[in-house]
Amino acid sequence: MELNRRILITGANGALGLCLARYFLERDAACHVFLGVRERRDRAEALVADFSDRAFLCPLEITSAEAWAAAVAQIEAESGGPVNVLINNAGYHDDALLASMTQAQWSGVIEGNLSSVFLGCQSVMKPMMQQRWGRIVNVASLSALHSPAGQTNYAAAKAGVIGLTQSLAKETARLGITVNVICPGHIEGALPANWTEEQIKAVKRDTPMRRFARPEEIAAVVFFLASAEASYMTGAALKLDGALV
Ligand SMILES: NC(=O)c1ccc[n+]([C@@H]2O[C@H](COP(=O)([O-])OP(=O)(O)OC[C@H]3O[C@@H](n4cnc5c(N)ncnc54)[C@H](OP(=O)(O)O)[C@@H]3O)[C@@H](O)[C@H]2O)c1
């Protein structure tokens, strides 16, 4: 099939989201990429300026059903068709030991990493079903599979994304819609701001590859999962961690 991908990437001003957007734009001259942004927009704006005919900013607060409805309507109006590739990349963590975690920390992380993925998938589902084609790639984390202390909220949310992905993949398997999830370990250029040089060295020492992922190495996997060729791959949860686990 000739593929005219209309790709929505959430959190596209962030480290991984921006790399994903650039990766698609540089490798698929026919695709249109919509960069989901919330507050920070500077880097996404610069990329849109470089690819002004095929890249567009898309204001999107991922925890709001109304914002999702507005975003998918904007994309359909601007590109002549509905979103057919959704990359649920936006997310954040707010770590604390469970004993002292506030309810706001718990529910904020669940809303911003899990409920947001539900809203995103639901907002694109009917058009994808009508077209009988679609690709959804969810970004979870290695924390879902190998959960560190201090991340009960984030680990639960990202594990929930894996469960959501695998259940939805079964619902859409006969409709040409694939749904997969990636579980990256640490990504170069996107490490927690409070890590010391010593901590960084220690984690690298524990990683069999002795280094973190380059964002492009994660983007390459997402690019494949979002392709027509990845047609038999659905419900997969891929760990991208340099064999850390
Ligand atoms: N960095 C890592 O090592 C790593 C490892 C495993 C998994 N991940 C996952 O990979 C994804 C991307 O991470 P990253 O390192 O690129 O993070 P990042 O640089 O902090 O970027 C996250 C992006 O998500 C956006 N975002 C967060 N909450 C949002 C909301 N409620 N509505 C709309 N946008 C929202 C942020 O927007 P604002 O700029 O407006 O805040 C930002 O653009 C996340 O899901 C993260 O959990 C990251």
Determine, yes or no, domain membership for 50.
yes
User: What's the 91 CA to ligand 1 centre distance in angstroms?
Assistant: 4
Would you name the residues annotated as active-site residues? 154
Residue 15's CATH number: 3.40.50.720
The answer, as to whether pTM is greater than 0.85, is yes
Q: How many other C-beta atoms can be found within 10 angstroms of the C-beta atom of residue 98?
A: 12
Q: For the chain, give the mean pLDDT.
A: 97
Indicate which atom in ligand 1 lies nearest the CA of residue 139.
45
The 10s digit of each residue's pLDDT in 110-149 is 999 999 999 999 999 999 999 999 999 999 999 999 999 9
pLDDT at 26: 98
Which mutation among 88, 187, 216 tests ligand 1's pocket best, with the greatest number of atoms within 8 A of CB?
Answer: 187
User: What's the 208 CA to ligand 1 centre distance in angstroms?
Assistant: 26
pLDDT at 2: 54
Determine, yes or no, domain membership for 245.
no
User: What's the 26 CA to ligand 1 centre distance in angstroms?
Assistant: 22
Share of the chain above pLDDT 90, in %: 98
Pick the residue whose CA is nearest to atom 8 on ligand 1.
141
Q: Which residues sit with their C-beta closer than 6 Å to ligand 1?
A: 10-11, 13-17, 38-40, 60-63, 89-92, 112, 139, 141, 184, 186-187, 190
Report how many domains make up the chain: 1
Nearest to 19 by CA among 5, 33, 40, 32: 33
Q: If you average pLDDT over residues 31-57, what whole number do you get?
A: 97
Determine, yes or no, domain membership for 1.
no
The yes-or-no verdict on residue 3 having pLDDT over 80 is: no
The 10s digit of each residue's pLDDT in 166-213 is 999 999 999 999 999 999 999 999 998 899 999 999 999 999 999 999
Distance (Å) of CA 209 to CA 191, 205, 229, 242: 17, 9, 29, 5
Which mutation among 16, 42, 165, 200 tests ligand 1's pocket best, with the greatest number of atoms within 8 A of CB?
Answer: 16
Determine, yes or no, domain membership for 197.
yes
The yes-or-no verdict on residue 1 having pLDDT over 80 is: no
Determine, yes or no, domain membership for 10.
yes
Determine, yes or no, domain membership for 213.
yes
How far apart, in whole angstroms, are the C-alpha atoms of residue 133 and residue 179? 11
The 10s digit of each residue's pLDDT in 145-174 is 999 999 999 999 999 999 999 999 999 999
> What is the end-to-end Cα distance of the chain in Å, rounded?
38
Nearest to 124 by CA among 89, 84, 88, 165: 84
Determine, yes or no, domain membership for 217.
yes
Reported as a pLDDT band with limits 50, 70 and 90, residue 99 is very high
Indicate which atom in ligand 1 lies nearest the CA of residue 41.
39
Reported as a pLDDT band with limits 50, 70 and 90, residue 231 is very high
Q: Where in the sequence is the domain holding 41, given as residue range(s)?
A: 6-240
User: What's the 126 CA to ligand 1 centre distance in angstroms?
Assistant: 26
Q: What would the two tokens of residue 55 be? A: 């890249």
User: What's the 28 CA to ligand 1 centre distance in angstroms?
Assistant: 24
Q: What would the two tokens of residue 165 be? A: 């992905």
Indicate which atom in ligand 1 lies nearest the CA of residue 17.
16
Determine, yes or no, domain membership for 28.
yes
